Structure 1
Amino acid sequence: MSELKTATERLTAAVGELERTLHAERREAAETARSAKEAMRLLSHEKAAAAAKAEEAAARIAALETELADLSAGDHTAMKALEARAAKAEQAAAAAQAEAKAVAAERDAALKEISTLREARDGDAQLREEAAQALDAAIGELKVLSRAGAHG
């Protein structure tokens, strides 16, 4: 009978620990999901801003190239100034494109982290399933011990 009581106490402690672990994992998964959602929102906003900058720079380049093409060959000073402005606009466009690539890389890293966290969560579900099976086996063993104690 003492073995049955000890086994029951161990089983109760194991169930309590499993419940605490499951609660902590759920809380952590919810926090991770909130953080990932916020990161994705911020990255999306940054990507949109970078795309807008790239479009603006492309429009400036097109306007400068049109203006440059319309200048007469004799107006060398104005042409040089426009060439300098066009070069600056191209640099701004390149910087905006680089920023867009960096934002995309951050987004990809965040998506990869989300995927890794989801895989870990799925692995935790497998462990919980195995723990539940072990718990069922222990309950069965307790029943056998209980019957043996009742008949013995």
Structure 2
Amino acid sequence: MPHHFVACREAAQRFVYQRFVLHKGYNNYTLLHLVCDKKTFVSGAKSRKNFCQFPSPPLLKLLLESGADQIIEERDSRGNTPLHTAAASGNVGCVREMLFYLTAKQATLTNHSGVTAASISSNNTPSDRIHMVINEFVSRCK
């Protein structure tokens, strides 16, 4: 029985990667940007209170396991990587999940304004905590 589950999971991951991960949308956002952005919403999600709340670390983890780690350096129209988007949203869970797939060099990429993800600050964002998490990761990688 477990081997059937593994085969189904692998097939689902291939489908998600081919159909969704490689697609870019508004402002050149990838699916990783959308999953990490607090402004993302899903129509009809009101009836399912805990379904499709963004940012979503569990969905991000699924996408990264499905091959989305290959597009982790993709940039939106402002030069932000998905890590920048997660940091701007103030979601430490998404930031930590992404750091499993990044190198120190990738974690310190700058956007078009020359700002790193660790330096992004936003209203109502625990930017000090995100700054600490990213900087600890970079220092451990050196």
> TM above 0.5, one fold?
no
- Higher normalized helix content (fraction of residues): 1
Which of the pair has the greater relative contact order for Cα pairs under 8 Å at 6+ separation?
A: 1
TM-score, normalisation: structure 2: 0.23
